[in-house]
Amino acid sequence: EAQVTQNPRYLITVTGKKLTVTCSQNMNHEYMSWYRQDPGLGLRQIYYSMNVEVTDKGDVPEGYKVSRKEKRNFPLILESPSPNQTSLYFCASSPTGTGISPLHFGNGTRLTVT
């Protein structure tokens, strides 16, 4: 089944403890992206990747890192999480980054930073 898989689904951590949220897609998509969703603010893009080894900042990249060493995986790294990064995170992929193909989203990771 074609899908975008995020892990973990739920994560509670403490301020400053490095964490990684994994994202994997099995559709051979070139484009991958991370979003965060907060009440009243909609979905905001954190980082995106047009292809392997090609990443760029979205609208809210501060406090996050990403890497794209292989096509299927696009992990989101929080080197020193803070409470304002408590949010619902979504990974998404698309065949290309041209904007004419729909995005496929994962089921989300709910992160709480205390």
Instruction: Report the interface residues with other proteins, using CB under 8 A.
Output: 4, 31, 33, 35, 42-45, 48, 50, 56, 58-59, 88, 90, 92, 94, 97-100, 102-108, 110
In the bound state with other proteins, the residue whose beta carbon lies nearer, of 50 and 52, is 50
Taking the complex as a whole, how short is the minimal distance between the CB of residue 80 and other proteins, in angstroms? 25
Taking the complex as a whole, how short is the minimal distance between the CB of residue 6 and other proteins, in angstroms? 8
Compute and round to an integer the Cα radius of gyration of the chain.
13
Q: Are 106 and 92 in contact (CB under 8 A)?
A: yes
Please tell me the distance from the alpha carbon of residue 36 to that of residue 54, in angstroms, as a whole number: 20
